Structure 1
């Protein structure tokens, strides 16, 4: 029901990250401290940024823009960890709808807004919205109807994509002079792939985490920010009186059809 609309969009962001935060050396050398990574080669910095991302147990991901020509600009705000817990939201853009997402343990809660029901589920949306009346849909994390979404909420998904693409060397990698991103000192790395310029900003001090990724060109205009590394995902979940079981929801809408 909602999986194809909400789940595949965050998964696309995960794939974009994976294809950008990659390098040619083998993973497993450990995370090096960035005392002065500006003296390293562009490939060495990229490798350390990749290893730092793979070593993280949790993080916050903030993505916005469009990933390819003709796509609708959207935004994703997720705090996620390796255990598959996440808390955040997805906005499909252009008043197409948004949804809150909470996953904790074996359960997932999703609360689409009115625009989502109207635009993404035109046949049954009004009935779903009326029954839920502002409550969350609650389902098992293994429910196939929400599986794409729950997988996108797992930091392991992002890290596995990064690891699987570690040997992707397409495009020349270039290093720019150290600059600032907010209050952080960063080293920008730029690579051209498929007529798109990918720029990765790597922390120049402390652990060499990737802090921002931008994609520009050929209809693509997107930014992904990374923060809150190794900080826990919020553990609060909606109370029972603010939830509605997804199986009961589908049964109710079938009866009223």
Structure 2
């Protein structure tokens, strides 16, 4: 079962996609203020956030069962998170809740089959419509400790500021009901569009990359909004060790 590593892959894809999260841009003034200053402020607001909601749609991964096609993850600096993930074709989907060192993961039958192959149906029969519950001290769930830690992700971002690709402002528009400034340019040779809030504090709302086999949309929202604290009830969960025993897996 690879839920934690898949979350990590999905978050990493989102961060690579969003230049304003991890790069510094030198930019021209397209009439809506200096684009470089907007990008730097948007980056700073991501690095300073105590919690964030991150979304990703990777259309290029839609046909690949082993890759994350979409995700919606809220996480904070204390390592708490709540999210949902959909894999590419035939890979199923799963939800995750992490609070402290406890993890709950709920997946559909297609996910179990794609991850456990011959044992997948048996695992799905054991779990039924329940969460698998464990801790980040257990092998299968160890990856969740880092994948759900916003502080760790921000540290990685702060070290990734070597890009000299330029962005240029390209007018104003509205996206998801928010007034934004649109910036266009390239990142690693791929056409990239950023949407940053018109009003201060300037925050990244969405980043889009399309071209050369890439077709991704990433969103950032809920800056500083607490991660939901509700966790699944004991009756809605099955212990990870019990699942591994009953499905014939160990470790």
Superposition TM-score tier, normalisation by shorter sequence: 0.7 to 0.9
Distance 1:70 1:98, change over 3 A: closer
Tell me, yes or no, if structure 1 residue 63 matches structure 2 residue 51.
Answer: no
Aligned partners of 1:220 and 1:101: how far apart in 2? 27
After TM superposition, the score normalised by the length of structure 2 is 0.86
Tell me, yes or no, if structure 1 residue 54 matches structure 2 residue 47.
Answer: yes
Distance 1:198 1:148, change over 3 A: farther
Question: Which ranges in structure 2 are unaligned for 5 or more consecutive residues?
Answer: 26-30
- Contact 1:18/1:158 (<8 A) preserved: no
Q: CA deviation at 1:5?
A: 6.1
Q: CA deviation at 1:210?
A: 0.3
Q: What pairs up with 1:234-249 in 2 under 5 angstroms?
A: 234-249=228-243
- Contact 1:103/1:141 (<8 A) preserved: no
After TM superposition, the score normalised by the length of structure 1 is 0.84
Distance 1:70 1:200, change over 3 A: same
Distance 1:242 1:42, change over 3 A: same
Q: CA RMSD in A?
A: 2.6
Q: CA deviation at 1:233?
A: 0.8
Tell me, yes or no, if structure 1 residue 140 matches structure 2 residue 135.
Answer: yes
- Contact 2:172/2:180 (<8 A) preserved: yes
Distance 1:156 1:144, change over 3 A: farther
Question: Which ranges in structure 1 are unaligned for 5 or more consecutive residues?
Answer: 26-37
Which residue, 103, 106, 116 being the options, matches 2:101?
Answer: 106
- Contact 2:20/2:39 (<8 A) preserved: no
Q: How many pairs are equivalent?
A: 244
1:164 corresponds to: 159
Which one is further off, 56-65 or 139-148? Answer: 139-148
Which one is further off, 94-103 or 190-199? Answer: 190-199
Flag as ranges the 4+ runs of structure 1 deviating above 6 A: none
